[in-house]
DNA sequence: CTAATATCAGCCTGACTGACATTG
DNA sequence: CCAATGTCAGTCTGGCTGATATTA
């Protein structure tokens, strides 16, 4: 059975449908090791960019502050991160990955990278690159969000 | 501020983020005229493929039966569709677009097509075509869903 | 005074599940 | 008896809002 042609050719619909599959694949794959999507994002971001405040983490990964709190609670509980008060700005918690968090991240990375392969399975390497490039173009264009609120480093 | 490189290059993440923008654009645009996303999908599908049962509509548009019920209630209330019992199979309702539903659809179409343009704004015509093509490839590959349940026409 | 940070409680949408009655 | 249909009630997730206390 085919999709109705009208909606089937509609980029917005194709996009949301495909994203749903991707989302499910990632969620299931991370679920196998007891993790959520936010966990990977936060740990990866921390390892790459170093310790930072909860607000900065949220801006960088497009995670709401309120969700950030819950996520960090979970990551702290499993010992993957620690919160320490920032001596320069006592409103802030500086979030740092622990050694345990790093080994945890290795595991999540494995799962996530596997999923990228499943997700893009029908595409050739060139098509994968092109697909990713187009997504970046779209995302950069539509990022009207909290990017204007910069300077979380400039205290 | 840029996105973290690790997650920023991750197709699954780019995809879900972009889809969120698309989803929001469509929802807002249809919201301006008091419609929901399902309304457009159902009306468009009915006009293109003709009257059919609620279950068939759901399969074709990937809408759950339970959500279908609510959607059709809304569309019936505004007079865009009618449900009539199927004489050949008394379990079924045959859903038909009304004249009013067609003029309604014209309005929704206008909104939705406008959004496609906003969504794909940063892409050239060729890139848009390619992007759509790749999405179709991905979607066709991952459509393990209710497509196996065919033969809603073969009564 | 205004703004940012962290926390908590709760909302809304969308996809989905389970139960049920009716008909094939 | 089993399968499909339509309906209803309700769950779970994710993105988001609002209120509050603290500090810049």
Residue bearing tokens 């019992």: B85
- Contact (Cβ atoms closer than 8 angstroms) between residue B104 and residue B83: no
Distance A10 CA to D3 C1' (A): 34
Closest alpha carbon to C1' of D21, residue: A91
Selection from B143, B62, B134 nearest residue A127 by Cα: B134
Residue A140, number of CB atoms within 10 A of its CB = 13
Q: Which residue of B has its CA nearest to A27?
A: B12
A56 touches strand C (CB under 7 A): yes
Q: Tens of pLDDT along chain A (155 residues)? A: 556 666 678 999 999 999 999 999 999 999 999 999 999 999 999 999 999 999 999 999 999 999 999 999 999 999 999 999 999 999 999 999 999 999 999 999 999 999 999 999 999 999 999 999 999 999 999 985 334 333 333 33
Residue B148 has pLDDT above 50, yes or no: no
Q: In angstroms, rounded to a whole number, what is the distance separating the alpha carbons of residues A114 and A42?
A: 19
Distance B88 CA to D1 C1' (A): 23
- Tens digit of each residue's pLDDT (9 = 90 or more) over B68-125: 999 999 999 999 999 999 999 999 999 999 999 999 999 999 999 999 999 999 999 9
Distance B138 CA to C12 C1' (A): 30
- Tens digit of each residue's pLDDT (9 = 90 or more) over A96-131: 999 999 999 999 999 999 999 999 999 999 999 999
pTM of the full predicted structure?
0.90
Nucleotides on strand C lying under 7 Å from protein C-beta: 4-10, 13-18, 22-24
Handedness of CA B113, B114, B116, B122 (dihedral sign): positive
C-alpha distances in Å from residue A43, one per residue of A1, A35, A109, A145, A148: 42, 11, 10, 22, 24
**A154 CA to chain B: closest CA distance, Å?**
13
Selection from B113, B97, B82 nearest residue A7 by Cα: B113
pLDDT at residue number A6: 61
DSSP A64: -
β strands within chain A, DSSP E: 52-53, 81-85, 93-97
A69 touches strand C (CB under 7 A): yes
CB within 8 Å of A47: residues ≥ 6 apart: A97, A102, A105, B6
A contacts of B121 (beta carbons < 8 Å): 141
* Cα B80 from chain centre: 16
A-interface mutation test, from B22, B47, B144, most A Cβ less than 10 A away: B22
Residue B152 has pLDDT above 80, yes or no: no
pLDDT at residue number A149: 37
Token pair for residue A9? Answer: 């050719």
- Contact (Cβ atoms closer than 8 angstroms) between residue B21 and residue A139: yes
Three-class secondary structure of residue B123 per DSSP: coil
pLDDT at residue number B154: 34
- Tens digit of each residue's pLDDT (9 = 90 or more) over B39-75: 999 999 999 999 999 999 999 999 999 999 999 999 9
pLDDT at residue number A121: 97
- Contact (Cβ atoms closer than 8 angstroms) between residue A112 and residue A43: no
Nearest DNA or RNA nucleotide to A87 (CA to C1'): D23
Distance A108 CA to C1 C1' (A): 46
A20 touches strand C (CB under 7 A): yes
Q: In angstroms, rounded to a whole number, what is the distance separating the alpha carbons of residues A73 and A33?
A: 18
**A68 CA to chain B: closest CA distance, Å?**
16
Please compute the mean of the pLDDT values over residues B29-46 and round it to a whole number: 96
């Amino acid at each position: 059975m085919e999709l109705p042609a009208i909606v089937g050719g509609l980029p917005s619909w194709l996009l949301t449908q495909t994203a749903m599959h991707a989302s499910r694949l990632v969620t299931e794959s991370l679920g196998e090791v007891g993790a959520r999507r936010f966990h990977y994002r936060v740990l990866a971001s921390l390892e790459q960019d170093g310790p930072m405040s909860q607000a900065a983490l949220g801006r960088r990964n497009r995670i709401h502050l309120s969700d950030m709190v819950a996520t960090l609670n979970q990551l702290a509980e499993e010992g993957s991160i620690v919160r320490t008060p920032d001596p320069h700005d006592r409103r802030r918690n500086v979030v740092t990955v622990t050694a345990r968090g790093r080994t945890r991240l290795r595991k999540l990375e494995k799962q996530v990278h596997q999923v990228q392969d499943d997700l893009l399975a029908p595409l050739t390497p060139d098509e994968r690159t092109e697909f990713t490039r187009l997504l970046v173009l779209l995302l950069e264009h539509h990022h009207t969000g909290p990017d204007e609120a910069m300077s979380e480093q400039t205290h």
